[in-house]
Amino acid sequence: MNMKYIFTHAFVLFTMWLGMTGCGSNGTTTSHKTEAPENTKNEEVVQDVIKADIVVAQDGTGDYTTLQAAINAVPDNGKERFVILIKNGKYDQEKLIVPKSKTYLTIKGEDREKTIVSYHMYDCNSPESGNKCPAEAWLLWKDNKDLVYTSATLTVLADHFRMENLTLQNTAGPVGQALAISMQGDKGVYLNCNFLGYQDTMLLRENGDRQYIENCLVLGRTDYIYGSGIGYFQNCEIRSWGGGWITAPATNKEQAYGFVFNECKFTYVANSPRKGDDGHPIAIGRPWHNYPKVAILNSSYCDEMHPEGWPTTWNMEYAPTSPDLHLYEYNNTGKRADMSQRAKWVGIKELTSEEAKAYTVQAVLGDINEW
């Protein structure tokens, strides 16, 4: 398929330099030319250019009107980057999956706030619909076991996946597990995106699989960044409704890293969709399975953060005494950066400047430029 060049945010600098008239020194009208500056001669068009192999547009101006059809058209087992551009609109009729064979795929939105990928499935006690609700939504996708394994709006199985410049959300609300994304491939990159949910917004599912998330917003209330994978959050906003837990890590004992947050902002937002959340403290997390590992470095905490950080063991009896939990902090700001009131667990500690060197992008993920 031929590469397309999509022009966005165009603006024109236009100057007409021919046939200009003015007054001479004797008061007579004269015609004259003025040489334009080199960078403004005639018409100059300044544009952002997005190169795309496939364009998705709801109005029919692209190659496809739905995103899953575009994903299905991507060549299998590719070794070169393949780009799908999604034009602005709200795409809310599909539960989406990137199959394992769609390697080196980039999905890029036209505008972060105006390109919205959305669905509304959630986990529920309903065996007749695979414990997924609404039942009518489950009926649409039940034949794809990978797709309905979780409630995620988007499930990514492929390695070397990239997503940029869009909003991905699950709109089910405070009804239980309702994922925006399930990350199940290795070497994923997410740039300039919004991930919106309430419970379990983002799942980093697989042991050892690595994800790099930069300049993104992640919104939720309950365990909304969770799983056993490795995630490096760089310059992100982690935005919470009150009364919940940001992370629910389940890191394998032999895995050196879990979730790393560097130069992030931990913020609070009122008007939760669930009554009773507002005004209650936000925990860094609660341990889910195995030997959780979370490191927060060079970041800022809102005042609503829970002073204990990890206020509950959540049925993990060994959480306070195991040195294999690594719940680390370094060089953070805000009054909740004071670690003197943190839970008295063996694995909670403040890193030294020397120890913090082990938490660079390179140390945690390797060379992401090769991804």
Residues 146 and 65 occupy one common structural domain: yes
CB 92 within 8 A of CB 67: no
- Single out the catalytic residue among 200, 278, 338, 367: 200
Residues 298 and 264 occupy one common structural domain: yes
Rounded Cα distance, 172 and 270, in Å: 18
Residues 37 and 120 occupy one common structural domain: no
CA dihedral (85, 88, 92, 94) in degrees, to 10, reads: -20
* Domain interval for residue 135: 53-205
Mean pLDDT over residues 164-170, rounded? 98
- Single out the catalytic residue among 53, 123, 159, 223: 223
pLDDT at position 129, please?
Answer: 97
CA dihedral (218, 364, 302, 168) in degrees, to 10, reads: 0
Mean pLDDT over residues 310-333, rounded? 97
Q: Which residue has the tokens 């953060």?
A: 305
Q: For the domain that residue 70 is a member of, what is the CATH number?
A: 2.160.20.10
Kindly report the average pLDDT of the chain as a whole number.
Answer: 89
What b/e string do you get for 188-211 counting C-beta neighbours within 10 Å, with b at 16 or more? bbbbebbbbbbbbbbbbbbeebbb
CA dihedral (183, 189, 195, 201) in degrees, to 10, reads: 20
Residues 357 and 211 occupy one common structural domain: yes
Rounded Cα distance, 125 and 29, in Å: 86
pLDDT at position 10, please?
Answer: 36
CB 116 within 8 A of CB 135: no
Q: Is residue 367 part of a domain?
A: no
Return the number of other C-beta atoms located less than 10 Å from residue 32's C-beta: 9
pLDDT digits (tens, 9 = 90+) for 61-97: 999 999 999 999 999 999 999 999 999 999 999 999 9
Can 186 be counted among the known catalytic residues?
Answer: no
Mean pLDDT over residues 258-264, rounded? 98
Rounded Cα distance, 368 and 341, in Å: 36
Residues 80 and 44 occupy one common structural domain: no
pLDDT at position 337, please?
Answer: 98
Q: Is residue 164 part of a domain?
A: yes
Q: What is the pTM (predicted TM-score) of this model? A: 0.88
Q: Looking at the predicted structure, is the pLDDT value of residue 252 above 70?
A: yes
- The residues facing 232 across adjacent strands are 212, 260
Q: Which of 264, 149, 257, 146 is nearest to 210 (CA)?
A: 257
Q: Is residue 112 part of a domain?
A: yes
Can 200 be counted among the known catalytic residues?
Answer: yes
Rounded Cα distance, 233 and 201, in Å: 15
pLDDT at position 273, please?
Answer: 97
Q: Is residue 130 part of a domain?
A: yes
Q: Which of 268, 335, 255 is nearest to 295 (CA)?
A: 255
Residues 113 and 10 occupy one common structural domain: no
Rounded Cα distance, 293 and 104, in Å: 28
Confidence of residue 11 (pLDDT cuts 50, 70, 90): very low
Q: Which two tokens stand for residue 158?
A: 């492929």
Mean pLDDT over residues 335-343, rounded? 97
pLDDT digits (tens, 9 = 90+) for 213-246: 999 999 999 999 999 999 999 999 999 999 999 9
pLDDT at position 371, please?
Answer: 95
Q: Which of 234, 199, 237, 232 is nearest to 217 (CA)?
A: 237
pLDDT at position 6, please?
Answer: 54
Residues 138 and 260 occupy one common structural domain: no
Return the number of other C-beta atoms located less than 10 Å from residue 323's C-beta: 10
Rounded Cα distance, 353 and 330, in Å: 8
Mean pLDDT over residues 165-189, rounded? 98
Residues 61 and 27 occupy one common structural domain: no
